[in-house]
Structure 1
Amino acid sequence: MKMFVKSGGECQDHTSSGESVCTDGPTRPVMEMKESKLCPRFASKVFNDPIHGHMEFHPTLVKIIDTPEFQRLRFIKQQGAAYFVYPGASHNRFEHALGVVHLAGQFLKRLQEEHRPIRNRDILCVQIAALCLDIGRAPFSDGVMMDQQNRNPSAVIFRTLENNLHLNLNEADKTFIEEMITGEGPWNGWPVEKRFLYDILNNRNTAVGVKLFDSVARDCYNTGLEANFDHRRVIQRAKVLPVNGVNQICFSVKVLGNMFDLWHTIVALHSKVYQHRVTKNIKTMQVFHYQDNLLFARHENIMQEIHSHNLLYFDLPEVQGAVQGAVQGAVQVAVPPIHIHQMHFYKMNGDILTVDEVDAKIEALNQRNTVTLQ
């Protein structure tokens, strides 16, 4: 490696140290940078976040962050239609993903202090999975039913990015990251003694993971709801212990009160934000409006294509408007426009049950009566 010089400083060669140093004069160093083994000649980056403060990211993560596929998350609201109810809830999935990556690193470094088998490479792989967890998130993805093959495009996008960016991951790393993204087995990416790494983001046993930690903290902060839960204390009291012969992430009984605070906060978020009647009304109107337009224009499969990685930029306002305009131009019978911004919502006139729904309710009632008689 060589020493680079700025503003007339001296230049020296430190090939033995393996470091590149810039100096602004003969003695005072102004910058020192080490090359990453996984991502050479690429700098780390620090983001200032209102929730977690300064967050530093590995050069490999920076390469993924700087791709168009990840940058599109800047245009997807974390709370979607709740933004119409809570004007402060303008946070996007971009900063949420960064927060999850940061917490994953903090959590694993804490576990690493007492559980030595955790390598720095393991931490980086978990952070890559956290970064790509929502990278395939599509517009109205929580309101539109998709077929099974398009249910999780994030893993497909990760594999494409890995090939394009040359992240130097081995096959075990790739398998592990994809399994963390999809949340589906057979869990062949990592050995049995490290299966607990799959539970860092979304814990399969307790549902308590860093993705939930960041969501609760960020949603409460931006909606103005009071959050009594402190994820830092929970992380500090976590350990890796054998449970029925398998290593799992366990928490001290001292944070039981914090766990109660967590679920109490989640209940409040669901009742006041996620399941707010206006939020659900707007979400329904948005989905119906775009589906109706596209179906009238005889693009029956386009709603599925929107959720594939080929139409990621549908979330951008200008592209969304262009698609809507093009579709409406092909519609012979105009679809009534929606007036969400004027707060003109659908009115509830009543509902009916289909034959299948009636049969399902009768079957459930019969099973309940059978259990009661026994």
Structure 2
Amino acid sequence: MLHPYAEIPELSDLQVGGPLVRIPMQLDVPFTPRVRAIVDTVEFQRLRHITQLGLADRVYPGATHTRFEHALGVFHNALRYLWQLGKDPRFSQVVDTHQAEVLMVAALLHDLGHWPFCHPIEDMGLAELPPHEAFAAEFLGPGSELAAALEQHWNIRADEVLDVLTPKTDSPALRLMRSILSGPIDIDKMDYLERDSLHAGVPYGRNFDRSRLIQSLLVNEAGDGLAISAKGKTAAELMVFARYVMFSEVYWHHAVRSATCMFARSFYELHRQLDLQSLFRLTEYDVIRELQRQAVGTPVAPLLEGLFGAKRRLHKRVIEFTADQSPELYRALAGRPYAETVEVGLQLLSALERLTGRTLAATDVLIDAPPVHKEVEFRVEIYDPKARVYRPLGQVSPVVDALARTQFDDFVKRVRVFAEPDLARILKDRYDEFVRELEAAACST
């Protein structure tokens, strides 16, 4: 029986070979003329100049891979998902060939609107920030090279792609397409876990069977999202654990968070004097240069120098704790608006000046706390063909159930206080007094 998407050139090339581009690890990404037409546009090429993990390379030197590489990896996953799901009549009857191609393009363009250091900047929730979805719409706007490439080579309108990336309408097909792009077992996570792990030089994000998981994909009971068959249970468990460990050991590694915290505070102090619409169109290198220029003579200049100057100098960790270690203090600091966290830090700074008898700079002490928004929870159904029933994976997996019973963010995303290195040594020697002052500042603000 002919595969329902067999006429899509990229899916055909995935099976029999054809023009390709190779990306780590040894992935052959179909690179047909119409894929090249998208990739060669000025709007897509800007992703070459935006790193995937921002400041993580201050700790993991190899983590300099770009959103350009990641986008190609997500596109490759989209092809593999579509080939597998096309074997499920419930999927192919809802998602036609044109919609499958729209999903492929959306996968390739899913990070189109991101700017340099997008995640730490967005985590602050500043009112002045333009949403990165608006940037995506602009880069796909009338007259753009990218929109023209879609019309000419794919017969796809820009608004069709944007509707997948930023929902405006609803249909069973769109819900299925969006669950592939953004859901518990989506093509984005499938790529970034492995790719970030590879470039960081750690094994954690690669310790799950991607092929087995993809081979187990099917449509969920409601017909509006993905599920997995019982044969993919172990692979799904390992993916859940891989994500947990990558957050714990890489994304929220204490030194990565120190660098992120220093950058966030610098941006927060400078953002009102910046033309954000222009800044976010720059390359990562040029954003750094502009921030350093604007910071001259300000309290955040030493922070940016420590991050991007000739000598790496990060603030040191004084204290860290999760929700189960210090529940009251954690609740007092986690999930607060960024401006309030800054105010708590300034209150703490004043108390520490009295405690140490030293005059401290406004950025000598920084509080890093989980942002307001939470991570997507791992909720996916598993289909038992013998019993012909769908059940939540957490009900049949002790691993997933254990992680579900403890809020992912509360355990992995710790509250930390960082201080200028010399001050950090002093505060560690006066730890009990420091904790009392932190508690007082958290409760009074």
Same fold by TM-score greater than 0.5: yes
Residue of structure 1 in register with 2:253 after alignment: 276
Q: In 1, Cα distance between the equivalents of 2:251 and 2:72?
A: 22
SS in 1 for 2:306: coil
AA at the equivalent of 1:344: R
Q: Does structure 1 residue 342 correspond to structure 2 residue 311?
A: yes
Q: Does structure 1 residue 197 correspond to structure 2 residue 177?
A: yes
Report the alpha carbon displacement of residue 112 of structure 1 after superposing the two structures with TM.
1.4
Residue of structure 1 in register with 2:227 after alignment: 250
AA at the equivalent of 2:227: C
Which structure 2 residue ranges, 5 or more long, are not aligned?
1-7, 11-17, 316-418, 428-433
1:231 to 210, 235, 252: 210
Which structure 1 residue ranges, 5 or more long, are not aligned?
1-33, 37-43, 361-374
1:159 to 129, 140, 157: 140
Q: In 1, Cα distance between the equivalents of 2:218 and 2:300?
A: 60
SS in 2 for 1:54: strand
Residue of structure 1 in register with 2:263 after alignment: 286
Report the alpha carbon displacement of residue 262 of structure 1 after superposing the two structures with TM.
0.6
**Pairing 1:94-243 to 2, within 5 Å after superposition:** 94-115=68-89, 116-117=92-93, 118-144=95-121, 145=124, 146-147=126-127, 150-152=130-132, 153-160=134-141, 163-164=144-145, 165-166=147-148, 167-168=150-151, 174-182=158-166, 184-187=167-170, 191-192=171-172, 195-203=175-183, 207-226=184-203, 227-243=206-222
Residue of structure 2 in register with 1:51 after alignment: 25
Q: Does structure 1 residue 265 correspond to structure 2 residue 249?
A: no
SS in 2 for 1:147: coil
SS in 2 for 1:344: coil
Structure with max Cα Rg: 1
TM-score of the superposed pair, with normalisation by structure 1? 0.69
Residue of structure 2 in register with 1:363 after alignment: none
Residue of structure 2 in register with 1:315 after alignment: 283
CA contact (8 A) 1:105 1:123 kept: no
CA-to-partner distance for each residue in 1:29-65, whole Å, 9 max, x for gaps? xxxxx999xxxxxxx9521112252111344432221
CA shift in 2, pair 1:92/1:185, >3 Å: same
CA contact (8 A) 1:129 1:181 kept: yes
Question: Larger % of helix: which?
Answer: 2
CA contact (8 A) 2:116 2:287 kept: no
Report the alpha carbon displacement of residue 110 of structure 1 after superposing the two structures with TM.
1.6
Q: In 1, Cα distance between the equivalents of 2:300 and 2:279?
A: 25
Report the alpha carbon displacement of residue 103 of structure 1 after superposing the two structures with TM.
0.6
Residue of structure 1 in register with 2:62 after alignment: 88
Q: In 1, Cα distance between the equivalents of 2:262 and 2:119?
A: 13
Paired residues in the alignment total 299
AA at the equivalent of 1:155: A
Q: In 2, Cα distance between the equivalents of 1:181 and 1:120?
A: 18
CA-to-partner distance for each residue in 1:263-316, whole Å, 9 max, x for gaps? 111111111110011101111222333444x36xxxx152xx43x4x4444234
Residue of structure 2 in register with 1:40 after alignment: none
CA shift in 2, pair 1:291/1:254, >3 Å: same
AA at the equivalent of 1:342: K
Residue of structure 2 in register with 1:77 after alignment: 51
Report the alpha carbon displacement of residue 210 of structure 1 after superposing the two structures with TM.
0.6
CA contact (8 A) 1:314 1:320 kept: yes
CA shift in 2, pair 1:343/1:211, >3 Å: same
Report the alpha carbon displacement of residue 126 of structure 1 after superposing the two structures with TM.
0.8
CA shift in 2, pair 1:257/1:325, >3 Å: closer
CA shift in 2, pair 1:78/1:172, >3 Å: closer
CA shift in 2, pair 1:154/1:353, >3 Å: farther
Q: In 1, Cα distance between the equivalents of 2:282 and 2:19?
A: 28
Bigger shift: residues 110-119 or 249-258:
110-119
Residue of structure 2 in register with 1:11 after alignment: none
Report the alpha carbon displacement of residue 176 of structure 1 after superposing the two structures with TM.
4.0
SS in 2 for 1:136: coil
